[in-house]
C-alpha cells in the first residue's frame, strides 16, 4: 500500500490523475484492512479461549501476503503484488518483542551460498513435469495411472497388422499410453484411458484414496492444464528419520517445504538447531532446493505456564513467517500443514495438485501407530491439513493453527470467501476409515529420542511424563515399546500388523528396511 502511494508520487508530474486514483485506493484499502481487523478482533475475543486468556499474544495483525478481500477465485496475481511480502515481513510486529526470550543465532558461513537461510525467500515456479499425456486418439491420460502396455493386451492376435502399425507408433513415441486407441477403432465408445490398479476416473488420475473418500464433487473433477503448487509446512524437533520419509514420499509432489525449527523446546528450554546442522552438512541435499528454513528464535509469552500457547504458536509462526517469504504464490495453490509425525501419502496430495473440482478445507485419514508402525491403533486420525492459499488468507488469517481446528464455518471470512468461490465449501477427507491416506506415527523414535521428547514436551498436556525421572529411564521406555504400553501403565488394543500389508508405512522406509528397522519391526519383541 505504502509502495503504491510512493509509486504514485514518483509519477506525479506526468500522471496527476493516476496519483489521485492511487491515493483513493490507499484510503479504500486502509478502510478495508481496518474493518477486517476489527472483525477478526471481535472473533478472537469471543470464539477461542486461548485467545481470551492471552490476548497479548495476538497482535498478529501484521501484513498478510495478499489482500485477500480483493481476490476473485481463480484470478492469478502478478508477482509484483507478492514481492511486497519480502519487504514487509510480519516479523516487525512480532508479539512480545520486548519481553520474550530471544537467541542470537550465528549461521556457520555468513558469506556462503546458504547464508542467512532463515531470511531467504523462495520463488514458486510452475512444475514442468508432464503428468498427463495426450494420446493419438484424443484421450488425455495421467501417465502414472495409465496402463502403458494395455494396447498389447487389448488387441487380439487377429489384428496382427494393426499391431505392427501401432508398434511403430509406440517406438516413435515411447512414453505415450495407447490404451484408448484399440477401443475407439472397434466401436464408438468414449475415448478413455486404461487405468492401472489403484487409479480411477476417465483420465486415470484419481487415486483410490480419493475415489473412496467422502468428496462430494467426485463427478466434477477435471485435470488441470497447469498443476497447482503445493506448499508443505512442518515444525521439526528431532523427527529426522520421519523427515526423510516425508521428503521421499512427497518430494516430487510438493513444490516447497517450509520447515520451522525453534531455538526452544515446547517446554521453553533452549536447544541447539539440530535440523539446521543437518541441512548444512548435506543430510537433506537431495531435496534442499525445495526447503525454506524457518527459524523461531523466541518463545511466546505465557508458553511456559500454558503449554498449549507454545504449541499453537509454533504453527502460527511457521505459517506466517514461512508464507511471508514465499513469492509468486497463486490463490489456487495448496497449503498443507502437518506435524512432523504426520506424513500424507503422495497420491492424495498429487491429486490436489493436478485436479480442479475438489472442495476445501481438506483433511487426511491417517493410519495411527505408536512407537513405530508395528503398533497400529484402531481407526484413523483425521486431521484438517490442507486448503488453498486463497482460503488460508481469506478465512484463516494466514494462520495454520486455525486451519487445523475444525471451526472454519464460523471463521469471519468464511461466508464471504464461500460466496466469492461460487461453490458450497464442505470439508472432506482424503482416504476413509479403511483407506489410509497417510501415516501418523506417534513417538516413533529410538528410546533416547522418546526420552528427549518427554523432556521437550510442552507444559499443558498433563500429566507431563517428562517430569518423572523413572518415566525417562531408557529401560522403562524399551519396555513400553516392547508391549505397546503407555506411560500411565495401560496397554492399548492393537490389531495384528505385517510390514507387507498395504500402507504399512511410507514407501521409503520399507525400501530401506534395515536402516529404519527400529520403527518397522518391534526391536524389543520377545522371541518365543
Ligand X SMILES: *[C@@H]1O[C@H](CO)[C@@H](O)[C@H](O)[C@H]1NC(C)=O
Work out how close the CB of 446 gets to ligand X at its nearest, in angstroms, rounded to a whole number. Answer: 14
Work out how close the CB of 248 gets to ligand X at its nearest, in angstroms, rounded to a whole number. Answer: 16
Contact 408, 417 (CB under 8 A): no
Q: Concatenated DSSP letters for 238-279? A: S-HHHHHHHHHHHTTT-SEEEEEEESB-TTS-B---HHHHHH
The stretch near ligand X (CB under 6 A) out of 5-13, 216-224, 276-284, 406-414 is: 276-284
**Closest to ligand X by CB, 149 or 281:** 281
What's CA 177's distance to the chain center, in Å? 31
State how far the Cα of 11 lies from the Cα of 522, in Å rounded to an integer: 70
**Closest to ligand X by CB, 241 or 382:** 241
Among 283, 416, 427, 442, binds ligand X (CB under 6 A): 283
Nearest alpha-carbon partner for 327 in 85, 50, 75, 66: 85
Which residues are CB-contacts of 171 (< 8 A; sequence separation ≥ 6)? none
Helix axes 346-354, 240-250, angle to 10 degrees: 40
* Cβ-closest position to ligand X: 281
Longest CA–CA separation in the chain, Å: 90
Which cell is 267 given?
517446554
**Closest to ligand X by CB, 214 or 281:** 281
Work out how close the CB of 281 gets to ligand X at its nearest, in angstroms, rounded to a whole number. Answer: 4
The end-to-end CA distance of the chain, in Å, is 71
**Closest to ligand X by CB, 43 or 240:** 240
Among 278, 287, 291, 510, binds ligand X (CB under 6 A): 278
The stretch near ligand X (CB under 6 A) out of 47-55, 153-161, 275-283, 340-348 is: 275-283
**Closest to ligand X by CB, 280 or 481:** 280
Work out how close the CB of 274 gets to ligand X at its nearest, in angstroms, rounded to a whole number. Answer: 8
Beta bridge partners of 133: 141
* Binding residues for ligand X, total number by CB under 6 A: 4
Among 52, 281, 305, 410, binds ligand X (CB under 6 A): 281
Work out how close the CB of 443 gets to ligand X at its nearest, in angstroms, rounded to a whole number. Answer: 22
Work out how close the CB of 276 gets to ligand X at its nearest, in angstroms, rounded to a whole number. Answer: 11
288 binds ligand X (CB under 6 A): no
Among 197, 282, 495, 496, binds ligand X (CB under 6 A): 282
Work out how close the CB of 249 gets to ligand X at its nearest, in angstroms, rounded to a whole number. Answer: 21
Length of the chain: 528
Q: Concatenated DSSP letters for 168-209? A: HHHHHTTT---HHHHHHHHS-------BPTTEESTTS-EEHH
**Closest to ligand X by CB, 83 or 278:** 278
Binding site for ligand X (CB under 6 A): 278, 281-283
Amino acid at each position: 500500500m505504502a509502495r503504491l502511494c510512493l509509486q504514485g508520487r514518483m509519477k506525479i508530474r506526468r500522471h496527476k490523475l493516476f496519483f489521485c486514483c492511487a491515493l483513493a485506493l490507499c484510503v479504500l484499502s486502509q478502510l478495508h484492512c481496518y474493518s477486517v481487523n476489527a472483525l477478526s478482533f471481535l472473533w478472537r475475543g469471543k470464539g477461542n479461549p486461548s485467545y481470551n486468556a492471552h490476548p497479548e499474544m495476538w497482535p498478529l495483525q501484521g501484513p498478510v501476503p495478499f489482500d485477500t478481500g480483493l481476490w476473485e477465485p481463480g484470478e492469478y496475481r502478478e508477482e509484483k503484488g507478492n514481492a511486497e511480502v519480502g519487504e514487509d515481513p510480519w516479523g516487525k510486529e512480532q508479539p512480545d518483542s520486548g519481553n520474550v526470550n530471544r537467541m542470537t543465532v550465528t549461521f556457520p558461513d555468513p558469506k556462503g551460498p546458504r547464508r542467512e537461510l532463515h531470511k531467504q525467500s523462495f520463488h514458486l515456479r510452475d512444475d514442468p513435469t508432464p503428468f498427463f499425456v495426450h494420446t493419438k486418439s484424443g484421450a488425455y491420460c495421467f501417465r502414472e495411472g495409465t496402463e502403458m502396455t494395455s494396447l498389447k493386451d487389448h488387441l487380439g492376435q487377429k489384428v496382427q497388422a494393426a499391431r505392427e502399425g501401432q508398434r511403430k507408433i509406440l517406438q516413435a513415441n515411447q512414453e505415450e499410453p495407447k490404451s484408448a486407441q484399440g477401443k475407439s477403432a472397434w466401436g464408438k465408445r468414449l475415448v478413455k484411458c486404461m487405468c492401472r490398479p489403484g487409479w480411477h476416473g476417465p483420465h486415470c488420475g484419481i487415486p483410490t484414496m480419493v475415489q473412496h473418500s467422502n468428496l462430494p464433487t467426485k463427478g466434477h473433477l477435471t485435470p488441470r492444464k497447469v498443476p497447482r503448487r503445493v506448499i508443505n509446512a512442518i515444525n521439526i524437533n528431532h523427527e529426522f528419520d520421519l523427515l526423510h520419509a516425508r521428503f521421499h514420499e512427497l518430494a516430487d509432489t510438493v513444490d516447497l517445504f517450509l520447515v520451522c525449527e525453534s531455538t526452544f523446546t515446547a517446554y521453553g528450554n533452549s536447544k541447539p538447531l539440530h535440523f539446521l546442522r543437518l541441512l548444512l552438512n548435506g543430510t537433506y541435499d537431495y531435496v534442499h532446493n525445495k526447503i525454506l528454513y524457518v527459524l523461531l528464535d523466541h518463545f511466546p509469552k505465557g508458553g511456559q505456564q500454558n503449554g498449549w500457547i507454545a504449541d499453537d504458536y509454533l504453527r502460527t509462526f511457521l505459517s506466517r513467517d514461512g508464507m511471508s517469504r514465499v513469492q509468486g504464490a497463486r490463490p489456487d495453490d495448496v497449503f498443507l500443514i502437518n506435524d512432523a509425525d504426520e506424513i500424507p501419502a503422495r497420491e492424495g496430495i498429487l491429486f490436489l495438485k493436478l485436479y480442479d473440482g475438489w472442495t476445501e478445507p481438506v483433511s487426511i485419514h491417517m493410519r495411527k501407530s505408536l512407537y513405530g508402525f508395528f503398533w497400529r491403533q484402531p481407526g484413523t486420525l483425521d486431521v484438517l491439513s490442507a486448503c488453498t492459499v486463497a482460503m488460508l488468507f481469506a478465512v484463516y488469517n494466514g494462520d495454520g493453527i486455525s486451519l487445523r481446528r475444525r471451526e472454519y464455518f464460523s471463521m469471519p471470512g468464511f461466508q464471504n470467501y464461500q460466496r466469492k468461490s461460487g461453490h458450497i465449501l464442505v470439508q472432506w477427507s482424503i482416504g476413509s476409515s479403511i483407506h489410509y491416506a497417510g501415516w501418523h506415527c506417534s513417538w516413533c523414535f529410538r528410546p533416547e529420542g522418546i526420552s528427549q521428547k518427554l523432556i521437550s514436551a510442552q507444559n499443558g498436556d498433563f500429566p507431563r511424563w517428562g517430569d518423572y525421572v523413572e518415566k525417562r529411564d531408557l529401560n522403562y521406555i524399551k519396555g513400553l515399546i516392547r508391549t505397546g504400553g503407555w506411560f500411565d501403565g495401560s496397554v492399548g488394543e492393537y490389531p495384528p500388523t505385517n510390514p507387507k500389508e498395504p500402507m504399512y508405512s511410507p514407501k521409503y522406509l520399507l525400501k530401506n528396511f534395515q536402516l529404519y528397522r527400529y520403527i518397522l519391526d518391534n526391536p524389543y519383541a520377545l522371541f518365543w
